[in-house]
């Protein structure tokens, strides 16, 4: 008895094609995940663009913006200060120790302040304060979504992007650079104190060594980066909040995802911004 057509060519082209289809099917979840990630990135960028533009469109609503600056910024002062102080203490301890090994402990001021201005101040502030701000925004907007408050805004004739996204996004862009400046100052002061205490390098010498090397560009490059970090944190928080699905469980998921996504996005952006700034300012 001759074999049926379906089993007659087990080694033939059909089985190879079948294998290829099977492999492709295995790849589908990755493809779907990649497409979802691209979709989210695109959605986040569109929302950020609309939020920024509509915030400038008349009538410009200053009251809600100031409320957000107070809510997101003023209430983050303590976390920004603590982060900066202890980061400054640790970095100066480490630099003092290692530079001491090479007999150049007196240069600790310039190395530490350069590090704080260019990287530590903006990045640590964006990671700690940004996580707090971003997750707070996602939780608030997500809760509004699941309780139909976003629909209510639309039903009452208003634009949720202008009412909710614009003030939060602009507030993040204003607040994060200001907190970065605070972090720079606090980190520097804490570093100077610990260097004086541990390595007996006077505070004046700590700052004088820095003044030789560190200039305004170093300070401004860090503050400039924090403007972009602010936009990233605000945009991710707003997007995650607006995209909440599945009730309160969805709100929790959006909140934790905001912390992870905004932190990674800040670090990725930091690399490219640093590269760009080094090229421009060199």
CA pseudo-torsion sign 262, 267, 271, 273? positive
**Closest separation between CB of residue 25 and other proteins, Å?**
20
Task: Report the residue number, 52 or 153, with the smaller CB distance to other proteins.
Answer: 153
Question: What is d(CA 132, CA 73) in angstroms, rounded to the nearest whole number?
Answer: 10
**Closest separation between CB of residue 84 and other proteins, Å?**
30
**Residues forming the site for other proteins (CB under 8 A):** 59, 143-144, 147-149, 151-159
Task: Report the residue number, 71 or 131, with the smaller CB distance to other proteins.
Answer: 71
Task: Report the residue number, 156 or 279, with the smaller CB distance to other proteins.
Answer: 156
Do residues 174 and 73 lie in contact, with contact meaning Cβ atoms separated by under 8 Å?
A: yes
**Closest separation between CB of residue 67 and other proteins, Å?**
9
Question: What is d(CA 271, CA 279) in angstroms, rounded to the nearest whole number?
Answer: 12
Do residues 218 and 111 lie in contact, with contact meaning Cβ atoms separated by under 8 Å?
A: no
Task: Report the residue number, 81 or 149, with the smaller CB distance to other proteins.
Answer: 149
What ranges in the chain are assigned the alpha helix state H?
13-56, 62-68, 77-101, 108-115, 121-146, 149-155, 160, 166-199, 203-213, 216-242, 247-281
Question: What is d(CA 82, CA 38) in angstroms, rounded to the nearest whole number?
Answer: 36
* C-alpha atoms less than 13 angstroms from C-alpha of 168 in its C-beta half-sphere: 30
Task: Report the residue number, 37 or 152, with the smaller CB distance to other proteins.
Answer: 152
Do residues 262 and 232 lie in contact, with contact meaning Cβ atoms separated by under 8 Å?
A: yes
**Closest separation between CB of residue 175 and other proteins, Å?**
18
Do residues 151 and 48 lie in contact, with contact meaning Cβ atoms separated by under 8 Å?
A: no
Task: Report the residue number, 45 or 152, with the smaller CB distance to other proteins.
Answer: 152
Question: What is d(CA 73, CA 77) in angstroms, rounded to the nearest whole number?
Answer: 7
**Closest separation between CB of residue 156 and other proteins, Å?**
4
**Closest separation between CB of residue 186 and other proteins, Å?**
31
């Amino acid at each position: 008895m001759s074999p049926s057509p379906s089993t007659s060519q087990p080694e033939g082209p059909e089985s190879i094609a079948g294998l290829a289809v099977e492999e492709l099917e295995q790849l589908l979840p990755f493809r779907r995940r990649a497409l979802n990630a691209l979709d989210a990135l695109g959605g986040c960028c569109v929302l950020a663009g609309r939020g920024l533009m509509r915030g400038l469109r008349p009538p410009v609503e200053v009251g809600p913006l100031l409320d957000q600056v107070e809510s997101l910024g003023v209430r983050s002062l303590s976390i920004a200060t603590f982060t900066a102080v202890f980061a400054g203490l640790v970095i100066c301890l480490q630099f003092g120790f290692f530079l001491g090994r090479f007999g150049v402990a007196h240069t600790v001021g310039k190395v530490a302040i350069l590090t704080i201005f260019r990287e530590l101040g903006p990045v640590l502030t964006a990671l700690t304060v940004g996580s707090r701000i971003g997750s707070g925004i996602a939780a608030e907007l997500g809760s509004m979504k699941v309780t139909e408050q976003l629909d209510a805004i639309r039903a009452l004739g208003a634009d949720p992007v202008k009412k909710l996204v614009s003030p939060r996004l602009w507030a993040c862009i204003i607040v994060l650079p200001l907190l970065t400046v605070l972090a720079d100052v606090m980190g520097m002061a804490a570093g100077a104190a610990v260097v004086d205490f541990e390595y007996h390098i006077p505070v004046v010498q700590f700052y004088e060594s820095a003044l030789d090397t560190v200039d305004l560009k170093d300070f401004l490059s860090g503050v400039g980066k924090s403007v972009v970090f602010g936009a990233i944190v605000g945009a991710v928080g707003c997007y995650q909040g607006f995209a909440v699905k599945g009730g309160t469980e969805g709100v929790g998921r959006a909140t934790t995802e905001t912390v992870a996504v905004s932190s990674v996005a800040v670090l990725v952006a930091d690399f490219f911004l640093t590269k760009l700034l080094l090229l421009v300012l060199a």
